Each structure stands twice: as structure tokens, then as C-alpha cells.
Structure 1
Amino acid sequence: MNATDRTPADLLRSELATDAARPLVTFYDDATGERVELSVATFANWVAKTANLLQDELSAEPGDRLALLLPAHWQTAVWLLACFSTGVVAEPHGDPATADLVASGPDTLETAGSCTGDRIALSLRPLGARFPQPPTGFIDYAVEVPGQGDHFTPYGAVDPDDPALIIGGEQLSAAQVVERARADAGTLGLTPGSRLLSARDYDSWAGLSSGLLAPLAAGGSVVLCRHLDRLDAAGLAARKESEHITHTAE
């Protein structure tokens, strides 16, 4: 965490320089039993590869709008930071028909098909696996991303005052995203090393903030839980203990 950071990508770079080995995003899917833990370094590597895919393979430019039709998931978090790194404007649950490109999970492919630009499909299967059969008209993210570069450099510097996120009908610049994330971190009492468990979706600012941005701004980490309602009280208590949870947003 650095006071001079003005974009979410800056926040990630600062965490990478501070402690690359610590956990940043831990993901659970209680419908499948999946658990994935990404250190700052591993998360940043996925972000770099995805940003390279956006910039070099898909020719996405700063200001292009990407409809992000994905649930709260570790790969969605990667896509958000990749957009912030390239200057592409991310719109979770945005209208793909009016977007320049779309990234879709398996349950929203029909809706995503209305995008006239590039369409990227994510299987959301454990370990980032491919689709058994690639969806027609879509690029399979799991096929394309492994071959991308491990380091990312934008063709031009991302302006912190340019649009970065559209959420709930509101457009925010990269600097505003950072400012709000820092404010939320303060409200939640997050500090370096905090572990926030979030069961919120990524369809609102509150979900994005608790599920990624506020912990990142605070130098903490998030335990992102999908289908948490599958756990009983004892199971939830056990998770909080095993994951050393300090804060919750259920």
C-alpha cells in the first residue's frame, strides 16, 4: 500500500513489491468444493497474462468497454485488474449488445452472444480448466491465456482520471475507484494483514469493494465465497477459523 497509488493497478504493484508471497485472493465454491488460493505474485501473473491478451490479441484500447458477465470468482477479480491495467472500462453485468467486447461465464453465453465485438468465454471450472467443447463464436480463455506473457506493459500510461469502471449505472475513474476502496477499507477497519470473508456478488460496488478492492487497498486479503449458503453455521465457523478471518461481509 502506497499513498501515491492512483489506480487499482498501482495498488497491485505496490503489494507485489511489499510481499509477493502472501495470499491475496482465496476462492471457495461451496457448490463444487473448489478452493483456490492465489498469492499476490500468482494473482499478478494472471493479471499480466490477461492484460496481454486484451491488449495484444484482442487489440482492446483504453476507453473500450468490456461487459463482464461473470459471478464473484477469482477469475473475475483477475479480469477486473486486467481491465484497470490496460485502461479498458469494466462493466460488471453490463449490456454486451452495446459493449466493445464481452467476457462471459458458461451460464450467460446466450446473452453474451449479442456483443458484436470479441467474445471471451470462461468455463469457471476448477483450476481454470477449458470448456470440453469450445462455445461457438467465443474465444476460450483457458486456451488463450496460458501462452501470454508473464509481464505486462501498456502501450501508453493509464490516466487515473480516465473512466475505469461502470457499476450500478455510475461511471468511476481509476482514481475514484482507489479513493472509494481506501474509504471502505477505513470504514471496515481493514489494515495490512486483515482477512475479509466476502459472500457478496460482484454486481454492486459493495460486492466489488468487499470482494477485492478494499482488501487490496488496505494491504489485506479476501476470502471470496460463492454459494456460501450451502454451509451450515458450524461449517462457516470452521472456515472463519481455518482461514484466520478478521472481518466479514456476508
Structure 2
Amino acid sequence: MTTPAIDLMTSLRSGNSTAPRLTWYGPGGERVELSGKVLDNWVAKTSNLLQDELDAEPGMRLALDLPAHWKAMVWALAGWQLGLETVLNGDGADLLATAEPDAVAGKYDAVVAVALPALAMRWEGGLPAGCLDYAAEVRSHGDVFMQHADADPSACAIVASDGRRHLHQDLLDGFAVRHEDGVRLHVPGSGGLEAALANALGAWRSGGSVVLTHPDIADTGKLLAAERIHGS
């Protein structure tokens, strides 16, 4: 059974799949550009890791203790593609993806450490016992996601900060922010992960693309002009 998130991933890897869909500017001059095809590959690999290695199933809860970052976008899309509920407010969950594995509080079926540097091939330093290293593991998983169990469109996809529950079937109509067709959207990371996800979903739904910037990156005219962003 399909959901809007599954349909969105299909649209990102079809059509003009080589066009930029997600561009990230991070500290130290870091710039990452993902086409629709490459974004779908990352999401598929992460979905496969969740499903095949962590036994994730539709209806389970995935907590994201991550900043507004391109890898956090990948994790949210992977969870929604699988039919999971994304948890951003620290409430209880079955699985946790975190950039701070040493600060984990609470019990989870699995904890995954997500190294944020783009070129990280593994977590730098030691990890707590039982914590999975995302950078070291994700590349071994397949580029195509084959779902073992159907996602339930009527299940919760995310609870927003205002308390509203958004179902999988309403993710693009209720949670996503509407944007004009083909928009090239600047999303400042300072707004937090929830706002970044809502805006990105709306941009992708309309066939557009997203430029996500770390809070330390100044919104200079040069950057916006280079990325062809208007009205930011």
C-alpha cells in the first residue's frame, strides 16, 4: 500500500532525477548537493538499514535527536517511507538516531550514532556499547528499498510541536508547508528540524528543491545568487 512519502520518493527518483533536490551548506566550507536520484539512494539505504538490520516495522516510533541537517532529512524520509512515526520532541520511541550518542537518556530497541560531517566514513572515537555507527554501516545497504510490510496510511507520521498529529496519508497536505511550483527554497537551519522538514516536503511536492544552511552560515547575497534563490 502506498503513502504520500512513498509516492514522493518515486517522484524524486523519476523524471529529471539528476537535478539538485537538496543542497546543504555546513561549517568549514562544507557543501553537499544531492540530486533526486542520489537523495533517493541515501533514503533507500537508510530504510534498508532500519528494516533489515534494526527490524523496524510500520507503526514503530523513530526518534531523531538531530539538528536541521541533510542527514536528518534522509532519516525522516527513510522512516516515513517505511511507515514509522517520526518523534522530534524527546518522547519515548523504539529507535533513536542521534548525533550525541554519549548523552542518550532512556531505553531504545536500537540507538544509531549519526556522524554529521559529510565525508565521515565512521564515528570518530568510541561509541557506547550496542550503539550502531550509521556512517560505517549505511553504505553496505542496497540502493533500492523493497518494503517487507505495507505502511498504514492512517497511522501517525509525526506529532508537530503544536501538538497536532499528522497521519501518513496527510503528511503532504497537513504537515508540509505549501510552496509555489518549482521553487528553489532557502531553509535556514536556525529554524530547527521540524520547520526544515515541513518546508522541504512542500518544496519537493511542488517539484522544487531546497538549500538548507547551517545556523552559522550567513545568508549572503553571493550564496543566494549562486544557488539561484529569489525572494529569500
Is the TM value for this pair above 0.5? yes
Q: Which amino acid in structure 1 is aligned with residue 13 of structure 2?
A: L
Q: Is the 8 A contact 1:27 1:224 kept in 2?
A: yes
- Shift of the 171–220 alpha-carbon distance from structure 1 to 2, 3 Å rule, reads same
1:215 to 193, 203, 226: 203
- The answer for the alignment partner of 1:150 in structure 2 is 143
1:240 to 219, 224, 230: 224
Shift of 1:205: 4.4
- The answer for the alignment partner of 2:173 in structure 1 is 179
- Shift of the 142–204 alpha-carbon distance from structure 1 to 2, 3 Å rule, reads closer
SS at match of 1:152: coil
Number of aligned residue pairs = 229
- The answer for the alignment partner of 1:19 in structure 2 is 16
Shift of 1:206: 3.2
SS at match of 1:172: strand
Give unpaired runs (5+ residues) of structure 2: none
- The answer for the alignment partner of 2:106 in structure 1 is 114
1:191 to 162, 181, 188: 181
Q: Is the 8 A contact 1:86 1:154 kept in 2?
A: yes
Q: Which has the higher helix share?
A: 1
Runs in 1 of length 4+ with deviation above 4 angstroms? Answer: 201-205
Q: Which amino acid in structure 1 is aligned with residue 139 of structure 2?
A: P
Between the aligned residues of both structures, percent identity stands at: 34
Q: Which amino acid in structure 2 is aligned with residue 237 of structure 1?
A: G
- Shift of the 131–151 alpha-carbon distance from structure 1 to 2, 3 Å rule, reads same
Tell which deviates more after alignment, 119-128 or 75-84.
Answer: 119-128
2:41 to 34, 42, 45: 45
Measured against aligned partners, the alpha-carbon deviations of 1:157-184 in whole angstroms (never above 9, x if no partner) come to 22222211122133211122111356x3
Q: Is the 8 A contact 1:161 1:173 kept in 2?
A: yes
Measured against aligned partners, the alpha-carbon deviations of 1:83-134 in whole angstroms (never above 9, x if no partner) come to 0111111112423xx21110001xx324424233200001101324321224
Shift of 1:203: 4.3
Q: How far apart, in 2, do the equivalents of 1:128 and 1:112 lie?
A: 21
Shift of 1:220: 0.3
Q: Which amino acid in structure 2 is aligned with residue 36 of structure 1?
A: V
- Shift of the 136–129 alpha-carbon distance from structure 1 to 2, 3 Å rule, reads same
SS at match of 2:46: helix
Q: How far apart, in 2, do the equivalents of 1:33 and 1:159 lie?
A: 41
Measured against aligned partners, the alpha-carbon deviations of 1:161-215 in whole angstroms (never above 9, x if no partner) come to 2211122133211122111356x32xx4x212x21011045746433222x2111
Q: How far apart, in 2, do the equivalents of 1:247 and 1:111 lie?
A: 39
Give unpaired runs (5+ residues) of structure 1: none
Tell me the TM-score normalised to structure 1 length.
Answer: 0.84
Q: Which amino acid in structure 2 is aligned with residue 195 of structure 1?
A: R
Q: How far apart, in 2, do the equivalents of 1:23 and 1:204 lie?
A: 20
Equivalences for residues 58-73 of structure 1 within 5 A: 58-73=54-69
Q: Report the RMSD for the aligned CA atoms in angstroms.
A: 2.0
- The answer for the alignment partner of 1:34 in structure 2 is 30
